[in-house]
A and B are shown apart, each in its own frame.
Chain A
Amino acid sequence: MIERLKKYCGCISPSGCEDEIRELIIQDIQQIATRYEVDRMGNLIAFKKGRKTPDKKVVVSAHMDEVGLMVKYISDEGYIYFDPIGGIDPRVVGGRRVVIGDKRIYGVVASKAIHLQKKKERGMVVPLEEMYIDIGCDDKKSCEEVVSVGDVATFVPNFEEFGDGLIKSKAIDDRFGCALLVELMQEELEYDTYFAFVTCEEVGTDGAKQVAFNLRPDIAIAIEATTAGDVLGAPKSRYACELRKGAVISHIDGSTIYDKKLVEYALATAQENNIKCQLKNVIAGGNDASAYQRTAAGARVLAVSAPTRYIHSASNVVCKDDLFEIKKLVLALLQKGF
């Protein structure tokens, strides 16, 4: 799973531009899926036949897109101004490296040297609309030869293991989910299951809405990366979740109140199988579960997530053991059935 995750994290696929990641996933599933299709909005929906056909239609869902930037304006000096794609904290953008467009042009988000800052500028966060990317060009014309308004950019791929069993990379949110779904599809499944690789989660769970409408699942399980607040100085009550404590089950977040029976079922399954899991203790964030819950007549929803520090930045940080625990838990749920 880790090698697959690394491969997926290397894609430049922010919301609305999921082609690259989708192609990689298709390569990986075409031999193992019973069938798959790409819908007209770019969602990839795979079906895997199990030993039995269940009463309830179950979909496991992960989003292919990642947060990124879009080129808005190129100045006379050849600097590139941008808007964020999805929610990005300006504090993790200043001074970072990005890669732009199909030509994979490297750039750095400029940050004015501390020597040139006025006193009142010191330490003050620059709003995203005032930041710009420098690709080394010194005029608009030469910049426009390689970059165009509308091109998308992401943080530079930087997947690496570090510390005691941790991984850092851009886009672990939600390439982890994508990698896990493929891993699950490699298993002999007890029941027929749908696997949805959806688009545009970061801009409002748009892809999942269409999948939910077309598929009409009874049960939807979102596999996600969720914010871990277990950083130095944060109060435990505000951690949301912690690294090394296993799969995160949400009973409520910023956009969904999860199906209570499914939450209890997941917790019980974890306990039966000795799988580490934790409950998210802060009401914040949201994911594709909200789309599945609200579309058409609605589905019962569950979210199982990887605790992830510094989400939506150049370096999401997760613990490998947590990822393996999540795989165990979701597989146990699928084999037990609903």
Chain B
Amino acid sequence: MERIFELACAFSELPAVSGQEHIGMERVAELCKGYFDSYEVTPVGSFIGRISCGKAGAKTLLLDAHIDEIGFIVSEICEGGFLKVVNIGGIDPRILPASEVLIYGKKTITGIFTSKPPHLQEKDELEKPMKLEDLAIDTGYSKEQLEEIVSIGTPVGYRSPVVRLQNNAIAGKSFDDRICAVSILRALEMLKEKELPVNIAVQFSGGEETGYKGATTASYQIAPDFAICLDVTNAYVPDAPAYRKDIKMGGGPSISFSAQTSRKLTIKAVETAKKNGIPHQLFAEPNHTGTNSGAIQTSRGGVPTVLVSIPLKNMHTANEVVMLSDVYDTSRLICELALSLKEGI
């Protein structure tokens, strides 16, 4: 678990707003040192690492987690050193006022989202929806100074160093989907002493939050025989739809049934979890899963894919919450499923 916490801190901090993953790629390669026989970075911002099992004609299992995060890009540099931004991916404006961000310009600088002082607020303002357009980022620089550091298109991300909560829970930014990258690396550590029946290719794909382009292209490059797509899923919280009630924090990875995944591989994953006593939960999402699973499954001539998700709260906010035990159980499931693929599916 401690290892997972360490990795979670390192991965959470990566600056990789969707579409600008290149900024974080060097650090990704650093974090992945020692895990792979070879690696490459694709032209659209995905990291691919490969481990060969050394067997002639062995099949290849793909493990996918997306490395990009939701965030913002600068749309205007304004008087007084304020920045206007537009969102990259789904952002809830309600959590932004007076929150901290990092602006990845020529140097990385801190910014604070503005909040309207009470004396400027209209009476019925709380009755109206908040919009990102109504906010700006305060940088503490003058417009002229700012123009030397940032430009239109500069990415901006949440700033939220990982903290521990009770009960093995942790809070931080971009666990969607970096926590899954962590679960993959932890699984590779578990597999180190084992005899691999298949080659393993890992893709830390870019561009998931903005249309799966990293997974589409990296999967093409890898041409795997089967795949485990790892993402996060909304755990039940008060007032969430009732059908989420069985997705619980601490309940282990959620395995999805969907038309965008392979039923056969999904059942194998469930059986593997059962056989090895790995806590897990089931989720049904028949159509689009909102993850890379569809892009991977339809790559080239088709790739049987299973979607495994880590329960998470407050998705797309600066304080996403996950439980270390769920990450660990996900790593175990990846490990056991990889070992079980000797005879294909």
Which residues of A227-265 have CB atoms within 8 Å of chain B's CB atoms?
227-234, 238, 240
Q: How large is the interface on A (under 10, 10 to 19, 20 to 34, 35 or more residues)?
A: 35 or more
Q: Which residues of B contact A94 (CB under 8 A)?
A: 94-95
Tell me whether A91 and B138 are in contact in the complex, defined as CB-CB below 8 angstroms, given that A107-B165, A123-B129, A310-B115 are known contacts.
Answer: no
Q: Is the CB of A124 within 8 A of B129?
A: yes
Contacts of B57 in A (CB 8 A): none
In angstroms, Cα B119 to Cα A285, docked, is 8
Contact call B90/A132, Cβ cutoff below 8 A: no
Q: Report A-chain residues with C-beta under 8 Å of the C-beta of B290.
A: 115
Q: A311 — which chain B residues lie within 8 A by C-beta? A: 117
Q: A110-B237, A160-B110, A165-B140 are in contact. Are A136 and B166 (CB under 8 A)?
A: yes
A73 in the interface, Cβ–Cβ < 8 Å? Answer: no
Q: How many residues of B contact A (CB 8 A)?
A: 70
* B128 cross-chain contacts in A, Cβ below 8 A: 123
Q: Which of A87-139 contact B (CB under 8 A)?
A: 87, 89-92, 94-97, 105-108, 110-117, 122-126, 132, 134-138
User: Per DSSP, are chain B's interface residues mostly helix, strand or loop, or mixed?
Assistant: loop
Contacts of A132 in B (CB 8 A): 238
Cα distance A166–B117 when bound, in Å? 18
B305 at interface, CB cutoff 8 A:
no
Q: Is there an interface contact between A92 and B115, defined as CB atoms closer than 8 Å?
A: yes
B100 and A315 contact, CB distance less than 8 A: yes
Cβ of A30 within 8 Å of any chain B Cβ, yes or no, is no
Given contacts A137-B166, A142-B166, A229-B120, contact A113 B234 (CB under 8 A): yes
| Closest Cβ neighbor of A240 among chain B residues | B119
Q: Which residues of A contact B90 (CB under 8 A)?
A: 114-115
Cα A142 to Cα B249 with chains together (Å): 15
Q: How far is the CB of B66 from chain A (nearest CB, A)?
A: 16
B120 and A95 within 8 A (CB): no
A168 to B84, CA, bound (A): 20
B149-176 CB contact bits vs A (8 Å, 1 = yes)? Answer: 0000000000010011111110100000
Q: How far is the CA of A225 from the CA of B244 in the complex (A)?
A: 45
CB of B239 within 8 Å of the partner chain: yes
> Are B238 and A158 in contact, CB atoms less than 8 angstroms apart?
no
User: CB within 8 A of A231: which of B82, B168, B169?
Assistant: B82
The smallest C-beta distance from A164 to any residue of chain B, in angstroms, reads: 5
Q: CA–CA, A101 to B98, complex, Å?
A: 23
Render B130-148 as a binary contact track against A, CB cut-off 8 A, 1 for contact. 1100101011111001000
**B56 contacts the other chain (Cβ, under 8 Å)?**
no
Q: Which parts of B298-339 form the interface with A (CB within 8 Å)? A: 313-319, 321, 323
B112 interfacial contact with A, CB 8 Å: yes
Shortest A185–chain B CB gap in Å is 30
A179 at the interface (CB under 8 A from B): no
Bound Cα distance A97, B128 (Å) = 25
Chain B residues positioned under 8 Å from A123 (CB to CB): 92-94, 128-131
Which parts of A11-50 form the interface with B (CB within 8 Å)?
Answer: none
Specify which chain B residues have a CB less than 8 angstroms from the CB of A111 in the assembled complex: 92, 94-95, 314, 317, 319
User: Which one of A97, A113, A156, A285 has the highest number of Cβ atoms from chain B below 10 Å of its Cβ?
Assistant: A113
A110 pairs with B313, CB closer than 8 A: yes
Q: How far apart sit A165 and B319, CA to CA, in the bound complex (Å)?
A: 28
Supposing A90-B126, A108-B171, A168-B110 touch, asked if A136 and B115 sit within 8 A by C-beta, the answer is: no
User: Which residues on the A side are within 8 Å of B136 (C-beta)?
Assistant: 231-233
Q: Is B118 an interface residue (CB 8 A)?
A: yes
If A111-B95, A124-B129, A232-B80 touch, whether A240 touches B117 (CB-CB below 8 Å) is yes
B118 adjacent to A227 (CB under 8 Å):
yes
CB neighbours (8 Å) of A240 from chain B are: 117, 119
Measured between beta carbons, the chain B residues less than 8 angstroms from A136 are 165-169, 171, 321, 323
Residues of chain B within 8 A of A105, CB atoms compared: 166
Residue of B nearest to A75 (CB): B238
* Complex contacts, B97 vs chain A, CB 8 Å: 89, 91-92, 310, 313
State how many angstroms separate the Cβ of A106 from the closest Cβ of chain B.
5
Tell me which residues across on chain B come within 8 A of A238, comparing CB atoms: 119-120
Cα–Cα distance between A108 and B241 once the two chains are bound (Å):
22
B142 near A164 (CB under 8 angstroms)?
yes
A297 at the interface (CB under 8 A from B): no
In chain B, what residue has the closest Cβ to A165?
B140
Q: Is the CB of B82 within 8 A of A232?
A: yes
A268 beta carbon closer than 8 Å to chain B: no
Identify which of B114, B166, B169, B240 contacts A116 (C-beta below 8 A): B240
A314 within 8 A of B: yes
Q: In the complex the two chains form, what is the Cα distance from A112 to B142 in whole Å?
A: 36
0/1 interface trace, chain A 144-168, chain B, CB 8 Å (1 if under): 0010000000001010101111101
Any chain B CB within 8 A of the CB of A296?
Answer: no
CB atoms of B166 and A125 under 8 A apart: no
A122-B112 contact, Cβ under 8 Å, with A95-B319, A142-B167, A227-B118: no
Question: A11 CA to B318 CA in the complex, in Å?
Answer: 23
A–B complex contacts, Cβ < 8 Å, 9 sampled? A92-B97, A95-B318, A112-B239, A115-B290, A123-B94, A134-B313, A162-B140, A164-B142, A313-B115
Known: A142-B166, A160-B110. 6 other contacts (CB 8 A): A112-B237, A138-B167, A146-B166, A284-B118, A310-B138, A311-B117
The 3 closest A-B pairs by CB, nearest first: A163-B140, A123-B129, A95-B95
